[in-house]
Structure 1
Amino acid sequence: MNRGRIRKQLRITTLSLALATCFAGGVQAQSNTTGSVFGQAADGDRITVTHVGTGLERSVSVGNGGDFRIGALPPGQYRVTRTDASGQATTREIVVTTGSGSNVSFAAGDAATLDTITVRGTSAVNPIDVSSVESVTIFTEAQIDRLPVSRDITNVALLAPGTVKGDPRFGNVASFGGSSAAENVYYVNGFNVTNIVTGLAFNQVPFEAIAEQQIKTGGYGAEFGRSLGGVLNITTKRGSNEWKGGANVFWSPDSLSSGRALAHDPDRDGEYRIVESGSKIDSTVYNLYGGGPLVKDRLFFFGLFQGQRDKEVLDFENGHEGSTIDSPQGLVKLDWYLNDDHRLELTAFRDKSVEDGITYQRPAGDLYVGGGDPIGTFRRTTGGDNYIAKWTGYITDNLTLSALYGYGKYSRGSENSNAENCPYVYDGRSTGTPPIGVAGCYIDYQRGLPDAGDTRKAWRFDGEWALGDHTLRFGVDNEEFITVDGSTYSAGEYWRYYNTTPGSTVAPGVVVPVGVTEMVRRRILDNGGTFTTKNTAWYVEDTWQVNDRLMAYLGIRNEGFENLNAEGGSFIDIKDTWSPRLGFSWDVRGDSSLKVFGNAGRYYIPVYANTNVRLAGAELDYNEWYTFTGIDPVTGVPVLGPQVGPRNYTSDGQIKDPRTVVDNNLEPMYQDEFIAGWQWQFAPNWTLGMRGVYRELKSGMDDLCAGSGAHDWALANGYSAAHADAIAEALSHCFLTNPGKDLSANVDLDGTGQLTVVDIPASALGLPAAKRKYHALEFMVERAWDDRWFLQASYTWAKSRGNTEGYVKSDIAQEDAGITQDFDFPGLMDGAYGDLPNDRRHSLKVFGAYQINDEWRVGANLIAQSGRPVNCFGIYPADGPDGEAVQYGAASFYCGEGVQSPYSIDGSLHPRGTSGRVPWATTMDLRVDYQPAWAKGLTLGLMVQNVFDSQDYYRVVEVWDAGGGAKAYDYKHPRSFVDPRRMTLSASYEF
């Protein structure tokens, strides 16, 4: 390339970056809801793309160099027409999918060879898209309908390489690339529907309304942020110029299903057996839908109503729940083509679900369904209503703009009949009198708020401008969430029974009296309020077609996060987080048959509203320890003896000054990612690919609750004893910071309200830096659908190591996003570095479908993953250097397994992940569909999930210490079994 051309490219790139400051960026750009067509043709040719269903038409002239690109196209089938200078036209069909480019290249050369056309990647799950550097898997409605996969967004996402099932206690969620299951972001038609409190839930459209599901597992561009895991992007169905409709029903009767497996140990002697319990679901889902033109070529409608009624029985060792779940849901989509240059989309959907149930209690040894007596009722509500409006304008052949506004609600309401009178009770003893097994009469361990939930408002503006060899994209966005949330234990308190050892220390200042081998701890936790969270971003990115085969990508994203406390004061206000993104795509042969690519990027995640609730609300949190002489047989509450030791506070119930709970230099959590790979079409319809992935957490964010190290540092550095006490007190009530880094706190040293900045070195706090590293190699082979069969197989070798899982903690199912018990006390981090819970070293996935003839089709899906690492959690040693860590009970990596004294600081440390591995979990699903020739439009189906009724499981109990150095009877007992065998009968009719 000559110097003049280099100067020209530099001028264009500089102009691109300058324009970014004038325009927009963030939640998602046009690639969230649209795709593109690109390729090569002769200079001066006219390329026209026409949406087959709606008549939408866009055309551009091919400029110097022969490259063309038409972006911001709604997904669907298109006719691509090349018209040369003489007026001769050539037309081909192609499919455009969400967020990807479809290559329709007219071979370079003379007029005689221009009719040779290459069409790539229109029917593959992982298409070869040389216009992108992202790692993307795309499932269309047709592809999903051929597979025996549960009709759920997460289960579809789990088919993609690099994804593993999250801890089932968090719900049906996925972990992407070693991140926690709370670090993904979810979109519906470009609108962010992620739950802002914990990141573990999201609004979902009725599954039958999904046209495409795009799964970004890494390398996504600067228009995407607020995620360290993956992006799940849903595009809904829309109307066309032809009226179409249908109805279907899916019935999964409990009579054709197996009961969920359960590890049963009625004698609590550690000798469990796996039995089939009565836990089953009888589910019926039906849909009515239709769409077509309200005004031909201009105004289109699509609507769907989904009815769902599930009857569920959930068994556990001392009782069961019976519930009914009603989920009347729906979606309406309007597409108004004002003209060929301007399009308006309106989407409204509801995903509200209400569960009503009864809880029963029975003797521990009785597992028969219906056994025992009802003790109370409950109601749980999730989901809500969402509205999305989007305008897209094709300003010129080279400039496209779009704007989006969304409003949504998500409910987390819960209530039950026993919340006022029945405390949460847990018996952790292994032996003793009164008899163990007390369950009490509580229904939910926490008393929820009937009106708990979130309201979100979001807007964004995006643009795409083609400048010669450069495609510039830019955008800005803003999100605001109003969260109503709070928690307290059932009846306001939590009682937990422990085995104890006389003379041992179970909490600061709490020493077990002589002769006492059983004690009970009472915990009070009460918080709540209304909180606001604000996220903003802008981005700019430049895709530079360096030559016919090499594409370079450069992007930058800037984000801001603001969190407000219960009184409306800002306690976190972070601006200007810079996220560079770089990448390249090399079309080795120039025909999209062999792609080599790589990318590097930085990714930030917002501070979730859970942090507002726990740190910036009026939280009261303390523990008391007692001896006891008896237990109430109904409530499980102890008959108390004397209190032992002082009350230990974590929070005193007052709303803190927002300046006193957060590090002045706080950074949000972020990570760096590097990916390199290739894809090769080695035969017609066959592709082979490989990716190498490396992710590293560069800054963690969590709370610490230990003030002793800061106290000692203050005394050693000239502070008075009173001032040292004030500094320790400021941190002891839990303080948000970046573990392992110096801390800057605002402290009221003299009790006058005057705050003084105190900078405390990391070495004084005794906490390690937050670490999480993920290495993976992904191998994929795929045969694209050709109206007869398709297949994809992938194998992923992955390793995830560190001392923190991330925003949540699967070890103990802690949903406190951003403020888990990790880093609360230095002693809890001893031995914390190791294999993390989402470290599934081997994952094999094979799925596909085969059209036997015009009437019969079969599909199969196999997923086999190695098990997660096992920990050994025990009570921190009383003679250890951290005098505060003991109060968390069995929360440290010191445990008594294999040693004589679990309280010896020497020899009892079992570092993270070194206590074994959970076995492999394997499931096989099958499907058969019959489309009779005598009834056009009718499809009858049967899907069998977990065909061999595997009783594999995803985790085990990891708490070794039941209290007092006694081994818990259920240590390493299996938990979270795979879903049992289930049959689903379906019937659908389309016209």
Structure 2
Amino acid sequence: MASKYLVKGLKRSALTVALGLSFVGGVQAQSNTAGAVSGRATAGDTITIENTNTGFSRTITVSGDGSYRLSQLPIGQYTITRKGVDGATSTRTASVSVGTASNIDFVNASGAQTLDTVTVVGSAAINPIDVSSVESTTILTAEQIAKIPVQRDATSVALLAPGTVRGDAAFGKLASFGGSSVAENQYYLNGFNITNTFKNLNFAQIPYEAIAEQQVKTGGYGAEFGRSTGGVINMISKSGTNEFKAGGNVFWTPESLSEPTPDLYYNDGRLVSDNSKDTGWEATAAVWASGALVKDKLFGYALLQYGRTQKDAYPGSTDGISGGRNTLEEEKSPTWLLKMDWNITDNHLLALTAFSDTRKTETKYYNTGFGTDAAPNAANPSRRDYVGSLKTEEGGDSYALKYTGYLSDNFTLSALAGHGEFKRRNYAILPNGSRMQYSGNLNDPVGGCPIVRDFRPDAVQQATGTLVGCDFAGSLIRADAGDERDQYRIDAEWLLGDHQIRFGYDVDDFTTVDGSVYSGGYYYQYYQLAGQDFVRRYDIRQGATVEVNQEAFYLEDSWHVTDNFMLYGGVRWDSFENKNGAGQSYVKIDDQFAPRLGFSWDVNGDSSFKVFGNAGRYALPLTANVAIRGASASLFVHQDFFYDSIATDGSSAPQGLTPCTLDACDAAPFYHNGESGAAKDPRAIASTNLDPMYQDEFILGFQMQLTDHLSAGVRGIYRKLERAIDDTCDTAPIESWAIANGFDPDSIAYGNPAFPYCRLYNPGSDGVWNLDVDGNGTLETVTVPADQLGPEAKRSYSALEFFWEGSWDKFFLQGSYTYARSKGNSEGGVKSDIGQGDTGTTQDFDYPALMLGSYGYLPNDRRHSLKLFGNYEITDEWSVGANLVVQSGRPVNCFGVYGDDPTGYGASYFSCGNTEPVGGSNDNGTTIVHRGSAGRTPWTNTVDLNVAYSPAYVEGLTFKVDVFNVFNSDKPTAVDEVGEDDTGSIVGAASTYLTPLNWQTPRSVRFMVQYDF
């Protein structure tokens, strides 16, 4: 039985080997940029591996126990030759993918020598299961991605993997892994970290034509990888070979074949947004070339890509009555990538990766009218006067240099140094041509056209205020905003008998420049009290340069206890330090210990049936955004004024301000949380016992080769959040401590630089803060028991994943079904319920009252997920591909006002009066509606199809058409979950509760023409 599978498994084409490696199972953390070949032969034999495309070659001697391993191999096609001690030779071929170990045996399970020479011939048999695996990993190659209808970006490809679901649209195009929030992932290109650590909600947008393979780690990854409690997306770029290759392609999605999103109606029947006129198109063109500058020594791959997107949107107003804003958005993205490889010798390699992902977007804003003034709610929204433009710039240039040295048969060393830059800035243009831009200086009021809303009785919409000023820009980011990363790492692998030992050290320093201000500098709200008009002015500004410094050591051992059984053990020590705008450390955590354990059992000894499992701990550092406002100097002040007049220049700004003397006014400036522009004391920001967010994970599964053409597997997964970081803004426990320790309640100095209102801590743990309680300049150590601060942060994820792959002569099919449950009181870094992207400092845990009823099913709880994709080659010229995704909906909440609103947060509690009681009522008679208990969004299904034609008469030419969402399914993917307005009334929210916020992406058609030579 064993030899049968071995011989059959050897007869397959190189492409099929690549496809076989691509989807299911998991692979040991061999490397984040390379792969390996391992197996068994006769002790003393020599094994030579050669990539004929690059001339790279290595030769090693089989160890005394009959095992061999060649590590840190660049991905590609290899010929493996065994030369026996008796002079006989045997030859195999293998495709090496990132992070995988291709198992090539020259003896069978009993130790007997196999055929002296085996020539690999074409066959559709799948690749043997990688028995050196303890991870849950998906690998997709460029060839596969080209065959299936999928958007060409890292997130879309990652969503093909089991256990991944699309994150909330509020955070852009990101994936949730295993119930974690979208802010808990890490992203790499050729070993260089391309995650944007500002909020962990962005990463470098690599031109996807340059990607050779994408590895998606959904769980169980080794100690080499850290700083993630979600998943890891690891991309490998294409490289040059001895053969000169060049080509180009064009992708075009025309507006005439793209459907709009559905119209938005409120529950009372009002048409709020007529999207029928919404249009958009996008096009991308790329050219590339690769080859050898010096044969077998120096290779290059270069790609230039230019993309352009235009979106025309005609939404209605937010009240369904007055005119709203419509937009014309245009994005231009000139990008490039360069990969240089220098084989200095067969034992010393050097690789350079450089890329740019700059994107510039201009959004023009216009007032919207519906039909005629006599029929404001009629269809056919029109574009009226020009309001202004917002211009943004994102992305930047990155460079990484990596050395790999095969210092002996048993020892390999690699080193990487990289630098990356990411811009993140905007400015606004007014109709008169003037520019609104923020310098980052807290004393800079910006000027221009401010945001103005009118809440006076004669205003059209009193609940939210009628817009009368310039709010199209919202907030302005400082002109020099951006991020820089400097990364250095060393990795080594040492083979010692039955042990494969890997260890390494890396430094990752991330610097952020950020700050924001209201467009126009201020936000005004007009009010009327006792017949007297007054205006409230808000002034909110931040600006700082902050740092996140990270370093880690790791050590891991893969111990081949027997020929069929491997034990994996790993440990990782992470250190994190966060610095504020003054360069002062406000959070420093040393030696966070993260153990990893696993096993892999090759049951039959022929890679046909594997049982595997692992357990691990994964830690997440605090992101940089926390320090911009929370730990650095910031301004948040509001003050009420009388005014002489209102400007008629279109800004509607108040003129002739004098402090308001009404009893209801804040005549003196009121500084929120003490944010008066003074520098904050870094010692007071975080609890002295603060630990990083970490999660424990357990996986158990098996994978079996059912036939030569089909394999399948099952794995069970359990993740539990053991600790989180968030902030608390509740001063009541501090007041209680102060009184109990002899302080006069009237002397408590709220908001001084050493007494911030909001402070970092681990929910569920005691808070221990150094605060200047009485404002005398001396810090007091304030200890608040955990039960006074609110509940412990909880999140658990349990899942059962079924996965399979099949490959036949002209057909391959892969897929998965996942049953999962995600439950707790904390999603993680962000809050999808309300679209809050303040990573690490959401409104959760600010006050205990906000957490009443917070335990339940979380936003990324998708109970059922079915994924199926593949391709069928009808003839040598024609092929068709398909991609099916069916998922159950996400849980829905009902947010409202609890009691008499003890926190002042308005409709932000799990408390709602317009829903049937769920879980009982609180003491004030307010109904608690537990998280996720107000229903679910609908099931969604999406079918994508494509057809490709490669005419035989022009070699290298391909035409392809992709149709996404063929049946134009338009189910809502997120809904308005606010069931009461801020006064606790259901009247204001009754028309909007459960109305859609986002829908499935509508049907679109993408055309491609590509020519390779």
Match of 1:644 in 2: 664
Match of 1:548 in 2: 563
TM-score normalised by the chain length of structure 1? 0.90
Give the drift of 1:140. Answer: 0.4
- Which amino acid is 1:773 matched to? S
- Which amino acid is 1:218 matched to? G
Shift of the 903–743 alpha-carbon distance from structure 1 to 2, 3 Å rule, reads closer
Name which of 355, 374, 379 aligns with 1:349.
Answer: 355
- Which amino acid is 1:795 matched to? Y
Match of 1:590 in 2: 605
Does the aligned pair in 1 maintain the 2:913–2:926 contact within 8 Å?
A: no
Show CA shifts across 1:588-639 (max 9, x none). 1111111111111111111100111121111223566899999999557799
Does the aligned pair in 2 maintain the 1:562–1:572 contact within 8 Å?
A: yes
Show CA shifts across 1:504-558 (max 9, x none). xxxxxxxx98999x99976442111111211110101000011011110000000
Q: Is the partner of 2:717 in helix, strand or coil?
A: strand
Name which of 420, 423, 432 aligns with 1:408.
Answer: 420
Give the drift of 1:106. Answer: 2.3
Cα distance in structure 1, aligned partners of 2:811 and 2:631: 56
- Which amino acid is 1:294 matched to? L
Match of 1:5 in 2: none
Cα distance in structure 1, aligned partners of 2:202 and 2:125: 29
Cα distance in structure 2, aligned partners of 1:648 and 1:394: 61
1:471 lines up with 2:488 in the alignment? no
Give the drift of 1:731. Answer: 5.9
Shift of the 239–41 alpha-carbon distance from structure 1 to 2, 3 Å rule, reads same
Q: Is the partner of 2:733 in helix, strand or coil?
A: helix
Q: Is the partner of 1:763 in helix, strand or coil?
A: helix
Give percent identity, aligned residues only. Answer: 47
Match of 1:205 in 2: 206
Cα distance in structure 2, aligned partners of 1:120 and 1:798: 41
Match of 1:917 in 2: 936
Name which of 741, 754, 759 aligns with 2:778.
Answer: 754
Shift of the 850–496 alpha-carbon distance from structure 1 to 2, 3 Å rule, reads farther
Match of 1:895 in 2: 912
- Which amino acid is 2:261 matched to? R
5 Å-filtered alignment, 1:554-569, equals 554-569=569-584
Does the aligned pair in 1 maintain the 2:396–2:423 contact within 8 Å?
A: yes
Q: Is the partner of 1:143 in helix, strand or coil?
A: helix
Q: Is the partner of 2:383 in helix, strand or coil?
A: coil
Shift of the 521–224 alpha-carbon distance from structure 1 to 2, 3 Å rule, reads farther
Give the drift of 1:59. Answer: 2.1
Q: Is the partner of 1:753 in helix, strand or coil?
A: coil
Match of 2:410 in 1: 398
Cα distance in structure 2, aligned partners of 1:340 and 1:547: 32
1:686 lines up with 2:710 in the alignment? yes
Cα distance in structure 1, aligned partners of 2:455 and 2:241: 61
- Which amino acid is 1:383 matched to? G
Match of 2:24 in 1: none
Match of 1:483 in 2: 512
- Which amino acid is 2:1009 matched to? A
- Which amino acid is 1:133 matched to? V
Match of 1:618 in 2: 633
Cα distance in structure 1, aligned partners of 2:741 and 2:752: 14
More deviation, 420-429/902-911: 420-429
Shift of the 832–423 alpha-carbon distance from structure 1 to 2, 3 Å rule, reads farther
Show CA shifts across 1:554-573 (max 9, x none). 00000111111111111111
Does the aligned pair in 2 maintain the 1:35–1:71 contact within 8 Å?
A: yes
Shift of the 460–83 alpha-carbon distance from structure 1 to 2, 3 Å rule, reads same
Cα distance in structure 2, aligned partners of 1:558 and 1:910: 41
More deviation, 54-63/628-637: 628-637
Name which of 324, 328, 342 aligns with 1:322.
Answer: 328
More deviation, 190-199/371-380: 371-380
Shift of the 532–111 alpha-carbon distance from structure 1 to 2, 3 Å rule, reads closer
- Which amino acid is 1:413 matched to? R
Match of 1:379 in 2: 391
Cα distance in structure 1, aligned partners of 2:272 and 2:941: 20
Shift of the 480–337 alpha-carbon distance from structure 1 to 2, 3 Å rule, reads same
Give the drift of 1:101. Answer: 1.1
Show CA shifts across 1:116-139 (max 9, x none). 979999999998321121100000
TM-score normalised by the chain length of structure 2? 0.88
Shift of the 522–216 alpha-carbon distance from structure 1 to 2, 3 Å rule, reads farther
Shift of the 56–635 alpha-carbon distance from structure 1 to 2, 3 Å rule, reads same
1:845 lines up with 2:857 in the alignment? no
Name which of 801, 807, 813 aligns with 1:778.
Answer: 801
Cα distance in structure 2, aligned partners of 1:372 and 1:960: 34
Give the drift of 1:721. Answer: 3.2
Shift of the 295–116 alpha-carbon distance from structure 1 to 2, 3 Å rule, reads closer
Match of 1:78 in 2: 78
Does the aligned pair in 2 maintain the 1:103–1:129 contact within 8 Å?
A: yes
Root mean square deviation of aligned Cα: 3.2
1:790 lines up with 2:802 in the alignment? no
Match of 1:306 in 2: 305
1:712 lines up with 2:736 in the alignment? yes
Give the drift of 1:65. Answer: 2.4
Match of 1:736 in 2: 760
Cα distance in structure 1, aligned partners of 2:490 and 2:597: 23
Cα distance in structure 1, aligned partners of 2:334 and 2:921: 54
Match of 1:37 in 2: 37
Cα distance in structure 1, aligned partners of 2:722 and 2:177: 17
More deviation, 634-643/275-284: 634-643
Cα distance in structure 2, aligned partners of 1:524 and 1:384: 31
5 Å-filtered alignment, 1:142-541, equals 142-265=143-266, 269=268, 276-317=275-316, 318-363=324-369, 365=377, 368=380, 371-418=383-430, 419=436, 420-424=447-451, 433=460, 438=467, 440-494=469-523, 523-541=538-556
Shift of the 802–122 alpha-carbon distance from structure 1 to 2, 3 Å rule, reads farther
Cα distance in structure 2, aligned partners of 1:383 and 1:723: 49
Q: Is the partner of 1:916 in helix, strand or coil?
A: coil
- Which amino acid is 1:644 matched to? A
Give the drift of 1:363. Answer: 3.1
Cα distance in structure 2, aligned partners of 1:877 and 1:515: 30
Q: Is the partner of 1:290 in helix, strand or coil?
A: strand
More deviation, 431-440/729-738: 431-440
Does the aligned pair in 2 maintain the 1:106–1:117 contact within 8 Å?
A: no
Q: Return 5+ residue gaps in structure 2 as ranges.
A: 1-27, 317-323, 371-376, 431-435, 437-446
Show CA shifts across 1:260-299 (max 9, x none). 334234xx83656896433332111111101011110100
Show CA shifts across 1:306-350 (max 9, x none). 011112223422222112211111111110000000000011101
More deviation, 632-641/912-921: 632-641
Q: How many equivalent residue pairs?
A: 941
Name which of 825, 842, 867 aligns with 2:889.
Answer: 867
Q: Is the partner of 1:556 in helix, strand or coil?
A: strand
Q: Is the partner of 2:787 in helix, strand or coil?
A: helix
Q: Is the partner of 2:369 in helix, strand or coil?
A: coil
Q: Return 5+ residue gaps in structure 1 as ranges.
A: 1-27, 499-511
Match of 1:12 in 2: none
- Which amino acid is 1:224 matched to? F
Cα distance in structure 1, aligned partners of 2:30 and 2:122: 20
Match of 2:46 in 1: 46
Cα distance in structure 1, aligned partners of 2:646 and 2:870: 57
Give the drift of 1:441. Answer: 2.7
Show CA shifts across 1:169-196 (max 9, x none). 1110010011110110000110001011
Give the drift of 1:714. Answer: 3.4
Cα distance in structure 1, aligned partners of 2:51 and 2:855: 54
- Which amino acid is 1:407 matched to? H
Name which of 900, 921, 938 aligns with 2:957.
Answer: 938
Shift of the 39–531 alpha-carbon distance from structure 1 to 2, 3 Å rule, reads same
Give the drift of 1:490. Answer: 2.1
Match of 1:967 in 2: 988
